[in-house]
Structures are given as C-alpha cells and as structure tokens.
Structure 1
Amino acid sequence: MPLRPDSESARLRDEAVAWLVRLHSGDMAPGERLSLERWRARSAGHENAWREAEALWQGMDSLCEQAIPGSRPLPQESASAGRAFPRRRLPSKRWSAVAAAVALAWGLAIYPPARWLADYSTGTGQMLTVSLEDGSTVTLNTATALRVEFSENRRDIRLLSGEASFKVAKDAGRPFVVASDHGSARAVGTEFLVRETGDGLDVAVLEGTVSMEAGGQALLSHHQLGSYRQGAALRVDKAAPVENLAAWRDGYVIFDNTPLRAALAQIDRYRPGRVLLLNEKLADYRVSGVFSVDDIDRALRALGETTPARVAFVSSYVALVR
C-alpha cells in the first residue's frame, strides 16, 4: 500500500509551492520576500519543504516545454543559499502551468494514484453510484477509489482514497467492513459515510449503528461522527451535522462556521489543480455558506468577497488565497 504524507508535511508542501508561485511570478513585493524568509526560518520542516519544492521546480524544464511548446528553461535564480531572488517576470501562462505541474509532480512522487489499485474510482468533481452483488449500494464522492473483496463469510471494502456513502443490505452472517490505512467501520445493515483524510479516518452514521476501530473503538449510532487522526485518540461527536456532511450526495458542500483552511481543503477536492492558502493568519477564520459542487469556483469567489482573504485564479488549475 502506498505511503501517504501526514497532514503537517502536506501543509508545508502546499505552502512551499504557493511561495514558489509567488516568487517566480515576478509580482512578489519586498514585504512578501521578508515574509518568505520568516516562513523558511520557522523550523527545519519549513526549510526542508522549501528545498524539496525548489529542487522539483528546477527539474520541471522538460515538462514545461511539453505544456507550453517553445518556452525557455526556468530561471535558475531562487531564494536558496545566498537568498538571491529572480528579477525576470515569467509570463502568467508559463508560471501558472509550471505551478500546476509542480503540484501534480510532487503529488505523484509521494504516492501513485489510488485508482491504479481500485475496482471503482472517480476523478476530480465526479460522483459514481454502484450496486454491489449483495444488494448494497455505494456512492463514491470526488477523487475516490475503492476495492471490493467479497467472500462467503465477509463483505470487505478497501477505501483507498476519498470518501464514499454506503447503504448496506442486511446479512447477519456476512459483516460489511470498510477499511482504510487508518482504521475500519463495521456494519450489518445500515447507512453511513466513510472518508479517508490522508492522516486519519472519519465515519458518520446516517442510519443504524456502526462499529469503528481507529486509534480505539467506538459504537456509533444515528447522527454520530467518529474521527481519528494519527497520533490522537478516536473522538466521537454525538450530535454531528451529518446532513451537512452528506450534502455532497445532492451536489452541495455546506460550510457552517468552518475554519477557512478546512473549507479550502473541501473546495480543493472538487476542482482540478490546487487551491493554496498563502496567508496563514486566515487559516482559522470562520466561514459559512452552501455551494454547488458543479460550480465550485463560485465558492472561492464568494470567500474572496465576504472574508478578508484575497483570491487569485492564476489559471484554471491554480488558485491562491492570501
């Protein structure tokens, strides 16, 4: 099973890419350059993320040539040793393509697409409902992959990535188990959601009861949410907004006093490319709203209009929030 980055490493990676985009755009103000220096100096993890992103950036020449034929190699100046900054401005189409390529290449370098190992999968922004041989149904949310492993005694689902909703046909002799890298949920006849977050597992019960095992054990009932993150104990919310969590099945995402970082992470799942938060001070700013997943960029535009955040669509694939 491919290894996944923990949430802290993933966050630093995204921030490093965002800083690189700003640096190579030619639009970076002197004050932002000082902010970059302070960001790199926060910890060894920040500096390592920067150096890894920079190394990948320098190796993207051939990919950029394919993306934009006739483009020249990337400028070699950077904010590495010596703290030299580039003085040339890259054309917007060029550096936005490079940014998207870097984000994609880094993701592929960390782990291969889960869909390579899946029986059923969805791409970004897609949903899929499948009827299983036992009469159960599963609905895959955006960017989700799973494998089905049924036998005479068990009904096993391996959630490789993403999120899925399960409506389980009753069969007391064959438990229905959904497992990921971080835990499992076991049911006989019920309806529930399971989401693999990359550093943990969420299980929300819509009907019936589910036994969850992830960093501990819990028996979840109607409208309860079990959440596990690496390095922490299993937590149970006994009055979770399950309808909000399941709104994606009707084509919506709902934010209700949600931290901006979490809202952007949700939006990021439904659009190609990356949404990168550049201003860490806004990470915990609370936002609310109901948005269609069919026009998810509207959510980004709304956040730019109703919060202190500034949203810049660098291209169809890269959006910066600062």
Structure 2
Amino acid sequence: MTEVNEEMLTVPEQAARWWRVMQDDEPSAGEKRAFAAWVAESPKHIEEMLRLAQIHRAFSRGQVRWPEDAAEALIRAAKTAGEDTVVPLWPPRSSRPEPTRRPVRVAAFGLAATVLLAVCVSWFALSRAESFETKIGEQRSVMLDDGSRITLNTASRIEVRLRPDRRVIDLVRGEALFEVAHDAQRPFDVRIDDTVARAVGTQFEVDRRDNRTVVTVVEGRVAVTSAAAAAPHLLSAGERITVDSTGLGAVEKGIKLDDATAWTRRQLVFRRRPLGEIAEEFNRYNAAQVHIQSDTLRKQEVSGIFRTDDVSSFVALLASKPGVRVVGDGSGGYVVTSDDSASPHR
C-alpha cells in the first residue's frame, strides 16, 4: 500500500482509500489491522464506510447479513457517541480506556464498529475476483464452484465473482462458452463493459471484439441488455444478437450452432465469408499472421472448414488464386498481394 498522509485527506477520501485497499487481491495483515484501527477511531468513519457499502450494494442479500438493527439506527448510535470518543477494537492492556459515564453510547459505537468491520471483511472476501486467461492459440476449460463450466477461446480473459445473490463474470477480452448450472436464486451475468448477458441455467457463447460483441444462445434463454438500448432482448436457442456502440442489433434466428461452437473442437467454419475476415480469424489463433494487402482479394467470399492452427492450408488457398503472390514477412507470417494490390509487392 502506498504511504499516504491521512491528515491530508477528508474522511470520505480516507474511506474511499480504505475501500480500494481492502478490495485488493491480498491486503496484508498490517493493512487489515490498520483498517480495523481506522474504523474504530470515529463514528464518521463508520458512516462513510456504510455510505460506500450502500453504493456498492454490499449489504443487500446473501450470507453477508446486517444484524436486525437497521443501518440508520447504527449510524445514529455511532453519531450520538460523540466525535471525541475513541474505542479501539483491540486496545493494548496498558492503554485500555477508563470507564466512561456514557457506557451505552460507547457500547453502541463499539458494536457499530465491530459489525461494520466484520461485514466489510466478509464482503471484500466474497466480492474479490478470480481471473482466468488463455494465450494465443490456447484454449482452457474452467469448472466453477457452483458447477458451471466456462470454456475460454484463444487470447481470452475472464474475472469471476461468485456472490451469495448472483454470479458475475466479466469477459475482459476474447471469447467464451458458458454452460451455466441452474440456480434460480443466483442469476448468472456475463458483463462486457455496459452490456450484460443474463442466464439462470443455460448454455451460450459470447464473442468480444474491438468494435462489437456477439451473443449466441446454444440452449435455454438469455436476456441481453445494453446501456445504449431502450429495452433488453430475450434470446432463445439458435438465436444471436450483435451489440455495438449503437446498442442492440436485430436478433438473428436459425443460427447453425455447430458452426458457432466449432472453435471448441479447434475448427473454423466459414460459409461465404470474405477472405479478409477469414485472415483475421486465423490471426486470432496463430503467431504467424496473414496480411492481405489487396482490398479486392479481402472482399472475395469463400466457404470452407479449417483447423485453427492450420495456417498453411489457408495460405495455400490464397496462393492458388490467379494473380496472387504470397511471401514471408520475415517473422514467420505471410504477406499476400495480387495484381490489383494498392501497394506494390516488396
């Protein structure tokens, strides 16, 4: 943790700082002790942490439960204890405070501080993300504690948070197939920036690209929402939707699911797809990149089935076309030109 002069920060700034510290993957024992001491210093600290907790909906449902007393009552009790009252959670024997004339108020403050600390620590532990990723050309299957399975495609990364009231998966990059274990009490949300694909028990695929995201439902139903859309779209098996900066596109029906999930079998299936798009697909899976420098050639549509790692077959297909030349780029990849290339072959 970076050293910060607490006296230079306002109480809300201190609370925000402690929230970030405790959200770290592994706060140290010293940081936890310092946080506990900070919580116990003043009723204002309790109030600000409660305010942050409400913003983050930390106390809404599930195993992290607030006591029967309402949060507002605890705040009032902490405030009435007086700003000059300091009650450490674990005071040294030699510095235990003398009995006060306001034992009820001090006890209320101590209770509020203790409960807040326990709830915050539990919430931070539950909300911390677990990350999984793959490298270029790698695929990986992950079994979650709830029984769901996630298969990651090439160069992909997810962050998983299994909370008591819901399951949240952030698709940071790439593509993944989600086989969701049924749990009606805990929706399964896949988030891509401000787009959310929600399912309870189903199977669906999400493909995140630079300028769009594609959601394809294999089994069951999935609700897709976006900040740029007026209303969510409910997709059924065999349906697909594309999300971009303008919001949710039209629902595509009758999707060939074997084609959509072919990558799980390390296959690429193309049906009348432009050669430029096919080259981009191969480039996702392989360090050997294919660069087509002819706009006309990039727009030509072909159909075929390839292995994800079989770049040579695709390059051979390109080289077989009249007027096309393929040369190495010096780093294991290929430069493809044709008689109508915008830039001369080198």
TM above 0.5 = yes
User: Structure 2: which amino acid aligns with 1:159?
Assistant: L
User: Structure 1: which amino acid aligns with 2:240?
Assistant: L
Structure 1 stretches of 4+ moved >4 Å: 306-309
Q: What TM-score, normalized to structure 2?
A: 0.56
Q: Distance in 2 between matches of 1:262 and 1:321?
A: 14
Cα distance change, pair 298–167 in 1 and its aligned pair in 2 (3 A):
same
1:264 to 259, 268, 279: 279
Contact 1:130/1:137 (<8 A) preserved: yes
- The correspondence of residues 1-322 of structure 1 with structure 2, limited to 5 A, is 119-181=131-193, 183-214=195-226, 215-216=228-229, 217-231=232-246, 233-272=248-287, 274-306=289-321, 309-322=324-337
**CA-atom RMSD in angstroms:** 2.0
Matched residue SS, 2:320: helix
CA offset digits 1:6-41 (Å, max 9, x no partner): xxxxxxxxxxxxxxxxxxxxxxxxxxxxxxxxxxxx
Q: Distance in 1 between matches of 2:260 and 2:290?
A: 21
**Unmatched 5+ stretches in structure 1:** 1-116
**Unmatched 5+ stretches in structure 2:** 1-128, 338-346
User: Structure 1: which amino acid aligns with 2:197?
Assistant: A
How far is the alpha carbon of 1:310 from its aligned partner?
3.6
Cα distance change, pair 125–167 in 1 and its aligned pair in 2 (3 A):
same
Q: Distance in 2 between matches of 1:270 and 1:205?
A: 23
Map of 1:42 onto structure 2: none
CA offset digits 1:138-183 (Å, max 9, x no partner): 0000111111011101100000111000100000010001111252
User: Structure 2: which amino acid aligns with 1:243?
Assistant: D
Q: Distance in 2 between matches of 1:294 and 1:206?
A: 25
Matched residue SS, 1:283: helix
User: Structure 1: which amino acid aligns with 2:261?
Assistant: A
Map of 1:49 onto structure 2: none
Cα distance change, pair 308–121 in 1 and its aligned pair in 2 (3 A):
farther
Cα distance change, pair 178–285 in 1 and its aligned pair in 2 (3 A):
same
Matched residue SS, 2:178: strand
Q: What fraction of aligned residue pairs are identical, expressed as a percent?
A: 33
Q: Distance in 2 between matches of 1:179 and 1:317?
A: 36
Contact 1:225/1:242 (<8 A) preserved: no
User: Structure 2: which amino acid aligns with 1:302?
Assistant: L
Map of 2:5 onto structure 1: none
Contact 2:187/2:198 (<8 A) preserved: yes
Residues paired across the two proteins, number: 206
Q: Distance in 2 between matches of 1:138 and 1:208?
A: 16
Q: What TM-score, normalized to structure 1?
A: 0.60
How far is the alpha carbon of 1:233 from its aligned partner?
4.4
Cα distance change, pair 193–163 in 1 and its aligned pair in 2 (3 A):
same
User: Structure 1: which amino acid aligns with 2:315?
Assistant: L
Cα distance change, pair 280–139 in 1 and its aligned pair in 2 (3 A):
same
Contact 1:162/1:195 (<8 A) preserved: yes
Q: Distance in 2 between matches of 1:246 and 1:308?
A: 35
Contact 1:228/1:235 (<8 A) preserved: no
Q: Distance in 2 between matches of 1:305 and 1:184?
A: 44
How far is the alpha carbon of 1:318 from its aligned partner?
2.9
User: Structure 1: which amino acid aligns with 2:270?
Assistant: F
Q: Distance in 2 between matches of 1:290 and 1:308?
A: 24
Cα distance change, pair 132–271 in 1 and its aligned pair in 2 (3 A):
same
How far is the alpha carbon of 1:260 from its aligned partner?
1.5
Matched residue SS, 1:235: coil
Q: Distance in 2 between matches of 1:118 and 1:173?
A: 21
User: Structure 2: which amino acid aligns with 1:246?
Assistant: T
Map of 1:97 onto structure 2: none
Cα distance change, pair 174–317 in 1 and its aligned pair in 2 (3 A):
farther
How far is the alpha carbon of 1:306 from its aligned partner?
4.8
Contact 1:169/1:190 (<8 A) preserved: yes
Matched residue SS, 2:335: strand
Structure scoring higher RCO (CA < 8 A, sep ≥ 6) equals 1
Matched residue SS, 2:246: coil
CA offset digits 1:124-143 (Å, max 9, x no partner): 11100010010000000011
